[in-house]
Amino acid sequence: MTPGSIDLHLHSTASDGRLDPASLMRHACDCGVAVAALTDHDTTSGLEAAASEAAALGMSFVPGVEISSEWRGRTIHVLGLAIDPAAPGLVAGLEGLRAERGRRAQEIASRLDAAGAPGTEALQRVLTLAELPTRTHFARALAELGAARSLAEAFERYLGRGRPAAVRSRWPAVTEAVGWIRAAGGVPVLAHPLRYMLSGGARRDLCREFREAGGLAMEVVCGGASRAQVAQAESLAARTGLAGSVGSDFHDPRVPWNPPGRLAKLPGAVPAVWSIPAFPISLPDFR
């Protein structure tokens, strides 16, 4: 019998995923995942439904969130794993983030209009269809409205860094997000650390400041990562004193190359985040 895999980074329709929380858990289970974390952007609204479906399927469930934050002017994602979603500081912090997302969606729409893209129509779709507005929803709307051929093209033409509808978002500092997570009894994990456009030195500074603020781990194995990228992340974690996590960042079953749980093994040089003493849920060793 295969023991099943672990995936600590998954999105549902509570943010920009395609599957509702219960369907996501069923899909993850079908893909062989035995331990799953739901980590939607800036919301915990899917956790209850996901937890009960996971329990019905006999899976282990880790309640999580992926918080948008800022460091040296860049957007950085901080995962909170095994959080208490009712913790007041976290609840208040996430409410502020969602208010900022609402403001930002209006600005994205006007910038799209100014760039000659159907921003107002896209916004209308986003606000009707999305539980929480993200750039992913704008990209889908632009593709549906014929302004881009694909999600990737919508980001390349309009929504990505340096493009006309890339608005300056006012996210909280990384250290603040880490504080909310720790106060909620959770474990802060720096998401996809190699995805940020940073020099090697700046990336190490980010990891060290994250750890000094109370951060405990970083993602060492990400969806679609090459062996070389896993090795690079492993050495970054080892050098900066962070434990390692594994997560696909799954959003959409129509993206066939990144299903839940299809991830390399966490390499040996770093402790697994789920086996450090601060991790409040007891899980089997998945290595």
Q: Pick one of 18, 27, 77, 111: the residue that binds Mn ion (CB under 5 A).
A: 77
163 Ramachandran zone, left/alpha/beta (phi>0; psi -120 to 50): beta
Exactly one of 9, 251, 261, 270 binds ligand AMP (CB under 6 A); that residue is 251
From the list 148-156, 173-181, 202-210, 224-232, the region that binds ligand AMP by CB under 6 A is 148-156
Q: Considering the rule CB under 6 A, would residue 155 count as an interface residue with ligand AMP?
A: yes
CB atoms within 10 A of CB 120: 11
**Other beta carbons less than 10 A from residue 72's beta carbon:** 12
CA neighbor of 187 nearest in space, from 149, 147, 216: 216
Q: State the DSSP code for 12.
A: -
Please identify, among the stretches 65-73, 86-94, 112-120, 121-129, the one whose residues bind Mn ion according to the rule CB under 5 A. Answer: 65-73
What is the footprint of Mn ion within residues 5-34 (CB under 5 A)?
A: 16
Size of the site for ligand AMP (CB under 6 A): 11
Separation between Cα atoms, residue 86 and residue 84, nearest integer Å: 5
152: contact with ligand AMP by CB under 6 A: yes
Residue 84 zone, left/alpha/beta (φ > 0; ψ -120 to 50; rest): beta
* Residue whose C-beta lies closest to Mn ion: 77
**Is 40 among the residues that bind Mn ion (CB under 5 A)?**
no
Cβ proximity to Mn ion, 223 vs 271, nearer residue: 223
Residue 41 within binding range of ligand AMP, rule CB under 6 A:
yes
13 interacts with ligand AMP by CB under 6 A: no
Query: What end-to-end distance do the CA atoms of the chain give, in Å?
Result: 16
Q: Rounded to the nearest 5°, which phi and psi values hold at 141?
A: -65, -45
- Binding stretches for Mn ion (CB under 5 A): 16, 66, 77, 191, 249
Binding site for ligand AMP (CB under 6 A): 16, 41, 68, 134-136, 151-152, 155, 160, 251
